[in-house]
Each structure stands twice: as C-alpha cells, then as structure tokens.
Amino acid sequence: MSNALDPITIGVVSISDRASSGTYQDLGLPALRDWLAKAVQNPIAFESRLIPDEKDRISQTLIELTDAGCSLVLTTGGTGPAPRDVTPEATLAVADKEMPGFGEQMRQISLAFVPTAILSRQVAVIRGQTLIINLPGQPKAIAETLEGLKDGEGKPQVHGIFAAVPYCIDLIGGPYLETNDAVCKAFRPKNAQRPRPS
C-alpha cells in the first residue's frame, strides 16, 4: 500500500466588483494560493476564479467548482454588511449543510485585532463532498483566520480554522490532507490519524 500524499483540488475564488473589472489588482487569489502552498503538503491543483459581487454568479461558480471535484473551496471578499456584499447568501444557497463553527471562530480571531470583526458574516458549508469557506477580504486577515494567533514562541493562542479543515474533509469523504505543522497543525482524533509518509 502506497503512503504517498493524496492529490487535492482546491477552488479559490476572489469576489470583487472592482478587481474583476480590472479597476485594481486582485490580491485575494495570490494570498490564498501562497498560504495554502505553505500550509498543505499534498500536491495541490488550484481552480482559481475572479468574479464580481453578484449572488447568482457566485452560487454558479461554487456549483461549478464542486462539480469539478474540488474537495475544498475558499472564497475571499463580499462578506460585510454593504449592499453588494452577498457572498454568504450565495454560499448558503448552494449548501447541503451549514458549518457555523467556522464563522464563529473567524470572528473570534479577527476580534483580537479590530472591533469591526463583528460586522463580518463569513459562513462555511458542505455541498456534496466539498467544504466551502468564506474568508475575509484582506490578505493579512486571510492568513490570521486560517493560521490562528500564536505567542512569541510560536505556540497557538487561538486556533486558526484550518486546523479543523483536514478532518472535516476526511469526514465528508475527501482526500487525507497533511499540513505543515510549522504553519498550521491539523487536528485529528488519534483513531483518524495515518502514519506520515516517509
């Protein structure tokens, strides 16, 4: 039996009227890809999309990415209270199950930095065998919510949400993800852990 790392397809979606129209450079997609490339040891195929803040377009994109075999889809942008911020509604519209703990933890992490974190409406859902998570729009906030907060010695003070992502993907029938512990250590119950590839 091979103990090589499973390949994974990850969808990354940046939702912005201005970036998708070329008014300014999108920073969300590079931030997502860079962080995932550091944090995940498995071979990753990225499916990247840059789209405007339009509810039907967002929902359709999420459906396309789940149908294309993405085990994980991360979105950035469109989660505030402004009229054009419709990412959570578009995400919930395609959901089989809502996973409220992800949004709760993201707001908890962001509140350590800014009181306006309570205005964010990120949600996470499962559609079929895909975990879909709405992340904040700023690259710095993306890394903070995924990675969590660490003390001066690098020990977690507040767990980032990505620590729970690999086990969630296990439970919905996706590939087994190995993480780079220096970036974000995945948590699994002992009976769900596999030996690390040599």
pLDDT by 10s per residue, the chain, length 198 = 446 899 999 999 999 999 999 888 999 999 999 999 999 999 999 999 999 999 999 999 999 999 999 999 999 999 999 999 999 999 999 999 999 999 999 999 999 889 999 999 999 999 999 999 999 989 999 999 999 988 888 777 888 999 999 999 999 999 999 999 989 999 999 999 998 876
Domain span at residue 86 reads: 8-192
Q: Which of 36, 84, 76 is nearest to 180 (CA)?
A: 36
- E strands within 33-116? 44-51, 72-76, 97-98
Q: Which of 62, 181, 178 is nearest to 131 (CA)?
A: 62
In a domain, 118, yes or no: yes
State the sign of the Cα–Cα–Cα–Cα dihedral 147, 73, 131, 100.
positive
Helix intervals (H) in 68-99: 87-92
In a domain, 126, yes or no: yes
Structure tokens at 153: 């010695």
In a domain, 1, yes or no: no
The predicted pLDDT at position 60 comes to 98
CATH of the domain at 65: 3.40.980.10
Residue 125 near residue 97, CB atoms below 8 Å? yes
The predicted pLDDT at position 1 comes to 40
Instruction: Report the domain count for the chain.
Output: 1
Give the whole-angstrom CA distance, residue 90 versus residue 85.
10
3-state helix, strand, coil in the chain (%, to 5): 40, 20, 40
